[in-house]
Structure 1
Amino acid sequence: MFVATGIAAGPLHAQDETIVSHGYSFYGDLSYPADYPHFNYVNPDAPKGGELAISFVGALDSMNPYARQGRAHAFSVFMYESLLGEGGAGTAAPADVYGEYYGLLAESVEYPPSKDWVIFHMRPEAQFSDGTPVTAHDIEFSHNLLLDQGFKSYADSVRRSIPKVEVLDDHTIKFYFADGISRRSLIEQVGTVPAWSKKWYDETGARLDESRLETPPGSGPYVVDSVDISRRIVLKRNPDYWGKDLPFNQGRHNFDSLRLEIFGDDTAAFEAFKAGEYTFRSEGDSKRWASGYDFPKVRAGQVVQKELPNGNPPTPTGIVFNLASPILKDQRVREAVALAYNFEWTNESLQYGLYNQRTSFTEGTPLMAESTPTGDELALLTSLGDLVPSVMLTEAARIPHVSNPDRLFDRRQARIAMRLLDEAGWTVGDDGVRRNADGTTLTLNYLFNSAAGATITAVMENFVSNAQKLGIAVRFEKVDPSQYTARKRDRDYDLVHGSYSSFLAAGTGLSQRFGSEDAAFSLFNPAGLASPLVDKLIDVALNADTREEETAALMALDRTLRHEFIMIPLWFNPSHWVAYYDQYAHPEIPPYSLGYLDFWWYDQDKADALRAAGALR
């Protein structure tokens, strides 16, 4: 039995053997004590005031991100809090530790060493922005609303693992967990569900799965000020925010308003930034980063261009294969298609050599598989018998191919690709097009967002051109953002520029992203991966008793995902690229969040100087 002492948790209740704590982590170790005054990385004396304005490229038509139709922005979830607090729009808080959660709507969490259930003791002073209290009934309602009207892959997973929720009184709620399943991620899962107002939903008759512009009241530090869905969304800081004095919130939520400016394409968005229509830009285009910021305001020091550290593993972004496509079920075809992508030429010729090529789903972390398996990982893989392909035990983890940086179409890699296609039964005809024995053309549709930036569009057009030279009839379908979102949800593509989530620890989200049970419809599994070996490794990771066992299982999972070859890995940037008008300040950036919407602050004197100089509108 875990004895809760020191900073790890609160006192043990011996009579019922429960642990009561101000926060939660699976292994019981918390970095912040119960009496912490603020998170270590914030400036607790940061001034309040001013505005931070960012941009969004594309079309928005909803303020409800849970709707089955429509497209919403992260600003639509900024108003909502949970029992265990998070940063804005689901970012980490605290952002200097991983896998630790601290009470926000809940003042304490109680659970037995077995973690068969959890009780949250809520703060009675918590209230929604309309002045009504946040109660356990709202938490129960929100949990059930996600099950009844939320995304199917999430709801199915939660129903299997959380069979019952019970309101013990107005400010106490208990969740029961199913027998025979891992306790990983269950407490934090129920503890991070957004709290919605039951009263508002009852009075309006609104549904979670329908697109709408009206938003229910939240309990968070910001409220919606105005919405013009084609132009801008503005949030303002709630002066009556109930939680402003909590240690959890010290040095955070410093701006009086947050503004989102909406643009149809990235070129227009950048020109608007130069003109001062918005004030903070997180840059994702290497060409623009290298050459586009040589304009007068940068030279005058009115706009700051800065690289800041990023401790998160990069998002596993790439060209994702739809494994339900009959053509792509053959891994030889996937291998051949991948050989059409020339990272080396692309990086040097189009991206100024600023990127690294991503290899792993846990890039740059201790969980990244390298070389051949050894130690605990090897022992685990060996114990799984025929589930593990023999090649995984004897060869190094898969890494991307290397192409000629001097020539877009690498003839050596092309010969390998053409041999693979021949072996797979797709032979080339006199017209240069590949067909199988039935005369069917090797055709693939590549779904792409037309609002994407010019550089990434050029990269993908070059990839498609190379694939076509191999005899593959690739249709590069550039569709508007609304169509793109709808077709991604319906998995209406052979190839798509998409992503998975990286992982630093075991959690039930691994099953939603990579597991077989939800593979046919999960929005988080765009390839539709369904692998018995992946399922087993997720299960082992979820049921690990020690960090060492968990690490071995997750390293083996990374190795297996790379072996399954569900996407062509693209590039990553090891830093945050940001540009902003010189009216903001920030503390030392913590590992797991850039935090510009969270713990940066406004410098009024600098802002006044910018306006006096005409740098800002």
Structure 2
Amino acid sequence: MSNRFTQIRHHAVVILAVLATAGIALPVSAATHGIALYGEPALPADYEHLPQANPDAPVGGTFSDGQVGTFDSLNPHILQGNTPWQLRFLAYESLLGRAYDEPFTLYGLLAESVEVSDDNTQITFTLNPEARFSDGTPVTVDDVIWSWNILGQQGANGRYRPAFAKVKDVEPVGERGIRFTIHAPDRELLMTLGLRPIMKAAQYADDEAAFFRSGLSNIPVTSAPYVVTDVDPGRSVVLERDPDYWGADLPFRRGTNVIDTIRMEFFGDATAHFEAFKAGELSSMRETNATAWARDYDFPAVRSGEVVLSEIPHQRPTGMTGLVMNTRRPFFDDWRVREALIQAFNFEYVNNVVNAGAQPRITSYYANSPLAMDHGPAEGRVAELLEPLSADLLPGTLEGYSLPESDGKLSNRRGLRTAAKLLAEAGYTVENGVLMGDTGPVTFEILMQTGSSEVQTIVDIYVEALKRLGIDARAVAIDSAQYTERMNSYDFDMTWFTRGLSLSPGNEQLAYWGPDGVDQPGSRNWMGADDPAIGAMIDAMLSAESQEDYTAAVKALDRVLTAGRYVIPVWHNPVSWIAHRADLKYPADRLPIYGDFIGFQPDVWWIED
């Protein structure tokens, strides 16, 4: 890029910034039905339905979903309490809805149109005049602004707060418009502002503090197709499809959310959950274990055809699943210790015990996708992004990092020898079979939620391996409410960890592993990652002006995270395994690229008589 071009571009940005500061409206693109991160939405303005939806799906029936654990709150937007999974999406609509058949495209939902300024610092949503809450009252500009403001407060779920500081102003535009102005160009941030849940401000007009109080007495007034109709504390929640839902005929909703009743049933452990499904009490069962899928799904209902076994492929990243180390704890703050603990984990043996060796290992955060880091030395644009930070990058970031492989035997001698050497380099010694540090014997907890026999098996095997290094690791299982509280305050040493990642990473990466989450409670940065290279790669990703630069930045971020050695990765499923009643159908001929993900079940499923 020439110096002359750089100067012209700089002057243009300065002029736009001055105009915005003066309150002068910036040039905007024409109002559209949708918005894409790069290019244009795949669906035209007059589209009839989402590609993954069946517009002729029959309406009616009951879907019974099982969940392990319990719940003590119906507000998924706050830090306190444990909320039923998916309630956020079944009860709360957003201005725009995500199309899971495209990497990152949003279409109008509560908003009938969206406009973005040419410099990507402003976005204006125009509400659909027909948008209504479940009590029949209209969704207003005030509701949108109130929802935005309340989600940015302390006590709200940490996933919403990082974006709050980046928004300079939120203002009404006429009767149905809401304009957000951000401090610096960021198209991805502007898009995600359209995904915030919209709540009814008047529900909390007399006592706004009630929004932050956990409990089951405050039944939400919903903005989505379902309403909460029955609650059995800790045991079940029932949602009914709102027959007067205003958006049933919207193109985005046509053929979705057609099941009349959704029951969420809660079980104390995975065994009780599975037995309830076998007994016909539940409609569907997701299986994550390859051995169990091959071994345990030959019960009478399967043989008779009453239950169908479906395999749903997907093209999304593996994300990260495994044992995460809390680097806020001194022992885990040294990368050599973290590498030692990875070396001590005998993946091949554990995978054989748990999965008969059938499931592939997660090799990086964005593996299984075009965004995954390339193994071996960094090259091209990825190397250019990382090189200025090379002096502070952990070993393996630039050179290439790969997880260790064992011979599959229980002894794992090579891995344990490597681990012992790394621990010695980090200053630890073994005395009478006990690993000693500056403060005495090394001991830590591996925290789990009660009810997962698979995780318990993994941890039990690992604890025995750590004993051979002189480490006293203890497996501790607690209930889901205690677990949520401790995760929000980062009160753990090591725990089971899952982060699903998308094909369009953006500002949410700051919540996952950004610097604010090191000390600020309630973020998703459980590992306490505090590496400036992470922030730099996220910045490069958010400011990318082309798909090529964007991909390079994500690949570079993948390298930094993987070489950070924060998590001991286990396996992933390139397909989702779902056992379900034969009358419960899904559009198998039009699966989205995300497969079985948010927005799939029960959203595009239906029940046939």
- Normalising by structure 1, we get a TM-score of 0.90
Equivalent in the alignment of 1:71: 82
Equivalent in the alignment of 1:103: 108
Give CA-to-partner distance per residue, 1:488-532, whole Å, 9 cap, x none. Answer: 111111111113342433421122222223322352100010111
Q: Check 1:162–1:378 CA distance in 2 against 1; reply closer, same or farther (3 A cut).
A: same
Equivalent in the alignment of 2:12: none
Q: Which range moved further: 276-285 or 17-26?
A: 17-26
Deviation at 1:412, TM superposition (A): 1.7
Q: Check 1:545–1:67 CA distance in 2 against 1; reply closer, same or farther (3 A cut).
A: closer
Which of these residues, 86, 105, 117, is aligned with residue 112 of structure 1?
Answer: 117
CA contact (8 A) 1:47 1:254 kept: yes
Q: Residues of 1 paired with 2:395 and 2:460: CA distance?
A: 37
Q: Residues of 1 paired with 2:461 and 2:517: CA distance?
A: 34
Q: Which range moved further: 66-75 or 350-359?
A: 66-75
Give the share of equivalent positions with the same residue, in percent. 37
Equivalent in the alignment of 1:354: 358
Q: Check 1:184–1:468 CA distance in 2 against 1; reply closer, same or farther (3 A cut).
A: farther
CA contact (8 A) 1:302 1:582 kept: yes
Q: Residues of 2 paired with 1:17 and 1:67: CA distance?
A: 34
CA contact (8 A) 1:184 1:508 kept: no
Q: Residues of 1 paired with 2:338 and 2:26: CA distance?
A: 59
Equivalent in the alignment of 1:435: 436
Give CA-to-partner distance per residue, 1:195-249, whole Å, 9 cap, x none. Answer: 1111111146553322021222112111112111222111111111101111111
Which of these residues, 153, 177, 186, is aligned with residue 189 of structure 2?
Answer: 186
Equivalent in the alignment of 1:51: 62
For 1:465, the aligned partner's letter is E
Q: Check 1:356–1:204 CA distance in 2 against 1; reply closer, same or farther (3 A cut).
A: same
Q: Check 1:504–1:41 CA distance in 2 against 1; reply closer, same or farther (3 A cut).
A: closer
Q: Residues of 2 paired with 1:116 and 1:523: CA distance?
A: 25
Q: Residues of 2 paired with 1:380 and 1:425: CA distance?
A: 33
Q: Check 1:210–1:149 CA distance in 2 against 1; reply closer, same or farther (3 A cut).
A: farther
Q: Residues of 2 paired with 1:123 and 1:520: CA distance?
A: 40
Equivalent in the alignment of 2:30: 19
Equivalent in the alignment of 1:35: 46
CA contact (8 A) 1:23 1:100 kept: yes
For 1:378, the aligned partner's letter is A
Equivalent in the alignment of 1:229: 233
Residue 329, structure 1, aligned to residue 333, structure 2: yes
Equivalent in the alignment of 2:411: 409
Residue 207, structure 1, aligned to residue 210, structure 2: yes
Deviation at 1:409, TM superposition (A): 2.7
Which of these residues, 115, 118, 126, is aligned with residue 121 of structure 1?
Answer: 126
Deviation at 1:39, TM superposition (A): 1.3
SS at match of 2:477: strand
Structure 2: which 5+ residue stretches go unaligned?
A: 1-8, 10-24
Q: Which range moved further: 111-120 or 374-383?
A: 374-383
Equivalent in the alignment of 2:586: 586
Residue 445, structure 1, aligned to residue 445, structure 2: yes
Give CA-to-partner distance per residue, 1:328-382, whole Å, 9 cap, x none. Answer: 1122221222222111111222212231100111011122112211122122223
Residue 238, structure 1, aligned to residue 239, structure 2: no
Q: Residues of 2 paired with 1:346 and 1:155: CA distance?
A: 37
Q: Check 1:330–1:136 CA distance in 2 against 1; reply closer, same or farther (3 A cut).
A: same
Which of these residues, 170, 175, 180, is aligned with residue 175 of structure 1?
Answer: 180
Q: Residues of 1 paired with 2:261 and 2:170: CA distance?
A: 37
For 2:199, the aligned partner's letter is W
Q: Residues of 2 paired with 1:468 and 1:386: CA distance?
A: 35
Residue 537, structure 1, aligned to residue 537, structure 2: yes
Which of these residues, 354, 379, 383, is aligned with residue 384 of structure 2?
Answer: 379
Residue 247, structure 1, aligned to residue 246, structure 2: no
Deviation at 1:26, TM superposition (A): 2.6
Equivalent in the alignment of 1:515: 514
Equivalent in the alignment of 1:528: 528
SS at match of 1:568: strand
Deviation at 1:74, TM superposition (A): 2.6
Q: Check 1:392–1:199 CA distance in 2 against 1; reply closer, same or farther (3 A cut).
A: closer
SS at match of 2:252: helix
Q: Residues of 2 paired with 1:386 and 1:470: CA distance?
A: 31
Q: Residues of 2 paired with 1:441 and 1:541: CA distance?
A: 43
Equivalent in the alignment of 1:84: 96
Equivalent in the alignment of 2:477: 478
CA contact (8 A) 2:346 2:415 kept: no
Q: Residues of 2 paired with 1:470 and 1:460: CA distance?
A: 16
Residue 399, structure 1, aligned to residue 411, structure 2: no
Deviation at 1:262, TM superposition (A): 0.8
For 2:508, the aligned partner's letter is G
Deviation at 1:152, TM superposition (A): 7.0
Q: Check 1:139–1:476 CA distance in 2 against 1; reply closer, same or farther (3 A cut).
A: same
Which of these residues, 422, 425, 444, is aligned with residue 423 of structure 1?
Answer: 425
Q: Check 1:575–1:481 CA distance in 2 against 1; reply closer, same or farther (3 A cut).
A: same
SS at match of 2:517: coil
Give CA-to-partner distance per residue, 1:106-125, whole Å, 9 cap, x none. Answer: 11111221122111111111
For 1:123, the aligned partner's letter is N
Q: Residues of 1 paired with 2:268 and 2:47: CA distance?
A: 45
Equivalent in the alignment of 1:256: 260
For 1:207, the aligned partner's letter is A
Q: Check 1:412–1:383 CA distance in 2 against 1; reply closer, same or farther (3 A cut).
A: closer
Q: Check 1:204–1:15 CA distance in 2 against 1; reply closer, same or farther (3 A cut).
A: closer
Residue 600, structure 1, aligned to residue 574, structure 2: no
CA contact (8 A) 2:116 2:123 kept: yes
Deviation at 1:421, TM superposition (A): 1.8
Give CA-to-partner distance per residue, 1:260-281, whole Å, 9 cap, x none. Answer: 1111111011111111111111
Which of these residues, 186, 195, 198, is aligned with residue 198 of structure 2?
Answer: 195
Q: Check 1:155–1:264 CA distance in 2 against 1; reply closer, same or farther (3 A cut).
A: closer
Deviation at 1:163, TM superposition (A): 1.9
- Normalising by structure 2, we get a TM-score of 0.91
Q: Residues of 1 paired with 2:397 and 2:119: CA distance?
A: 35
Give CA-to-partner distance per residue, 1:245-301, whole Å, 9 cap, x none. Answer: 111111111101111111111101111111111111111233321211121111111
Equivalent in the alignment of 1:88: none
Deviation at 1:75, TM superposition (A): 4.3
CA contact (8 A) 2:124 2:180 kept: yes
Q: Which range moved further: 39-48 or 150-159?
A: 150-159
Q: Check 1:104–1:381 CA distance in 2 against 1; reply closer, same or farther (3 A cut).
A: same
Q: Residues of 1 paired with 2:462 and 2:28: CA distance?
A: 60
For 2:297, the aligned partner's letter is Y
CA contact (8 A) 2:325 2:332 kept: yes
Deviation at 1:387, TM superposition (A): 4.4
